[in-house]
Chain A
Amino acid sequence: MTTTAHSTPSPSTDSGTMLAADGITKAFGSLVAVDDVDLTLGRGIVGLLGPNGAGKTTLLRILATVLAPDRGTLSLLGMDPASPAARTEVRRRLGYLPQSPRLYGGFTPLEMVDYVAILKEHTDRAWRRREAVAVLEAVGLGDRMHKRIRTLSGGMQQRVALAAALIGSPDLLVLDEPATGLDPEQRIALRSVLAETAHRGCVVLSTHNTAEVAALCQHVLVMDAGRICWSGTPAELAGVAEGRVWESDVEEPTALRSWLTGPGTRRHVGTLPSGTTPAVPTVDDGYLLVTRLSR
């Protein structure tokens, strides 16, 4: 796997392309948030990993048809969102979880999900209720669906927004940091919820937590400074650091990055000094190496 900044990530697609981006660029004034990104995604769960400010949220907002790109072409579920009719059709089959959902606290979770179903043009009231109850139960809020949203904890509010994204069984799910505010158990539950969508469609989610990526995703895209700088499976990302990570109790001049892992112990990624035994690499090591090499 190459780790150059200009590689074109193309996750293995077992069943055709769900999402394709070609030269997507988005700038806010002089800040280029997304810089010439090419993507081809098929079915499955794809994790977008990167430091804060890497452009993950902007890229996801573009993929969710919330923001129009300045340049480049986009194909979502085989349709170009630049055309109004195609965009509406994409949105019918799209679920989106924004980074800060900002849900109105006066609704109950059931009312909120029902409302989002109305926005998604579902006119059958009985259908809406049945589906709303189903998605709220899927995110573990079956016993809270009649409480006001403002009385729920942050993690629960996050799950209400996730339920709203899931209503109507979308084929394309765009989730900005869906695991924020979830405990490990809920994260496992999230995986099984997403796996169902991934079976028939494409899930793109962002995170800055490498453990989440390993737990949730079949494929990882590492984003840095507006560009996709690496693409592969979580195991491959760990593999990048194979033979390039070691531990010692002193600072190492050949290390690209070093950090303390315990009292007096340092972990390093970079060129292994001769005579040193390499450590078993983790996704963390691979990620740190990849983002450093991309600069």
Chain B
Amino acid sequence: MTQTWHADEETLRSWASGTAAPVLAASVEAHLLRCAECRRRTSTLATPDDAVRRWDALSDVIDRPRANPLLRLGVATPGLRTAWLASVLLLLALPAAVATLGTRLPLVVALAPVAPLAAVALAYGRDAEPAGELALAAPAAGIRVVALRALLVASSAVPFGVAGALLVGLPAQVAFGWLLPGAALAALVVLSGTTRLDPATVAATLGSLWAVAVSWPAASRQVPAHVVSHLVASAPVQLTALAVALVALGLTLARRDTVAYRRTA
């Protein structure tokens, strides 16, 4: 394409100094991309001050850390991203498994609570902290960061589980019934972090116990799966789970100093 016109000097000057109106500036830029002659003339117009100002503006954009602080704290490291991905995949796989394999086992109720559990255990893990031990001496160190990480992972994964279960046509009591037991188990893992116990071990133990306890009656064909799901969704079980979650969180708050100021290496 041949150029039939060139921008006048005043226009180029207003663009170079950054005072051109946005529409004019966009038009000049489009033109400059194609017109070597105007580029050459612009380079003679730009003062060193312009160059410095532009460079500063550019480096400001380039240097600006990309993610927002919340995401930095929450899902910065591969360990945390893996936790999130694993939680989402597990919660999506369960309804799919139920849809294809049938409902002989109460899969969702037995396994979905493991997702928040794992999220908490990984939030406590050493690999969750991008700055390593350095972070332990920061004012934000402690239960706040752990809770934030666990909440970010769990709260963004949990809706997938509920929506997936509803989509494959599971009853609402199954789709929602695992939430409070999941919260209770997760809260117990949070609490274990204030003791000398390893949260990962506690999470693995609690998760297995729950999964086995819930699926055993159905697996041994003594009780149909939907009866187990009903039982988990029943008011006594749900209220017990809520109570356990609240007590565990309360105890964690009371003992939060043990996370922020550790007694073991």
Q: Which of B64-72, B162-170, B213-221 contacts A (4 or more CB under 8 A)?
A: B64-72
Q: A115-B72, A116-B131 given as contacts; is B262 within 8 A of A67 (CB)?
A: yes
Contacts of B237 in A (CB 8 A): none
Q: Which residues 37-84 of B sit at the A interface, judged by CB distance below 8 A? A: 60, 62-66, 69, 72-73, 76-78
Contacts of A125 in B (CB 8 A): 64
Pairwise interchain contact A133-B63, C-beta atoms closer than 8 A: yes
Classify chain B's interface size.
20 to 34
Query: Which of A100, A111, A146 is the one whose CB lies under 8 Å from B62?
Result: A146
Pairwise interchain contact A115-B76, C-beta atoms closer than 8 A: yes
Query: Which of A89, A97, A118, A146 is the one whose CB lies under 8 Å from B134?
Result: A97
Pairwise interchain contact B137-A103, C-beta atoms closer than 8 A: no
Number of interface residues of A (CB under 8 A): 50
The answer, yes or no, to whether A205 is at the interface (CB within 8 Å) is no
Within the complex, the shortest CB–CB distance from B220 to chain A, in Å, comes to 45
Contacts of B137 in A (CB 8 A): 64-66, 91, 94-96, 174
Within the complex, the shortest CB–CB distance from A241 to chain B, in Å, comes to 35
Q: A68-B263, A84-B260, A87-B261 given as contacts; is B133 within 8 A of A98 (CB)?
A: yes
A131-150 CB contact bits vs B (8 Å, 1 = yes)?
00100000000000110000
Q: Which residues 63-118 of B sit at the A interface, judged by CB distance below 8 A? A: 63-66, 69, 72-73, 76-78
A1-32 CB contact bits vs B (8 Å, 1 = yes)?
00000000000000000000000000010000
Pairwise interchain contact A87-B132, C-beta atoms closer than 8 A: no
Q: A97-B134, A101-B133 given as contacts; is B65 within 8 A of A114 (CB)?
A: yes
The answer, yes or no, to whether B29 is at the interface (CB within 8 Å) is no
Q: A28-B265, A65-B261 given as contacts; is B134 within 8 A of A91 (CB)?
A: no
The answer, yes or no, to whether A281 is at the interface (CB within 8 Å) is no
The answer, yes or no, to whether B239 is at the interface (CB within 8 Å) is no
Q: A107-B130, A133-B63 given as contacts; is B263 within 8 A of A67 (CB)?
A: yes
Q: A87-B260, A106-B78 given as contacts; is B134 within 8 A of A120 (CB)?
A: no
In the complex formed, the residue of B with least CB distance to A92 is B139
Q: Which residues 208-265 of B sit at the A interface, judged by CB distance below 8 A? A: 257, 260-265
In angstroms, Cα B137 to Cα A95, docked, is 8
The answer, yes or no, to whether A202 is at the interface (CB within 8 Å) is no
Contacts of B130 in A (CB 8 A): 103-104, 106-107, 112, 115
The answer, yes or no, to whether B141 is at the interface (CB within 8 Å) is yes
Within the complex, the shortest CB–CB distance from A72 to chain B, in Å, comes to 14
Q: Which residues 109-165 of B sit at the A interface, judged by CB distance below 8 A? A: 126, 130-141, 145
Pairwise interchain contact A103-B139, C-beta atoms closer than 8 A: no
Within the complex, the shortest CB–CB distance from B8 to chain A, in Å, comes to 37
Q: 5 new A-B pairs (CB below 8 Å) besides A94-B137, A114-B72? A: A28-B264, A82-B261, A102-B126, A107-B130, A111-B65
Residues of A within 8 A of B (CB): 28, 58, 61, 64-68, 70, 81-82, 84, 87-89, 91-92, 94-98, 100-104, 106-107, 110-112, 114-116, 118-121, 123, 125, 128-129, 133, 145-146, 161, 164-165, 174
Closest 6 CB pairs of A and B: A102-B132, A104-B130, A119-B138, A96-B137, A98-B133, A91-B139
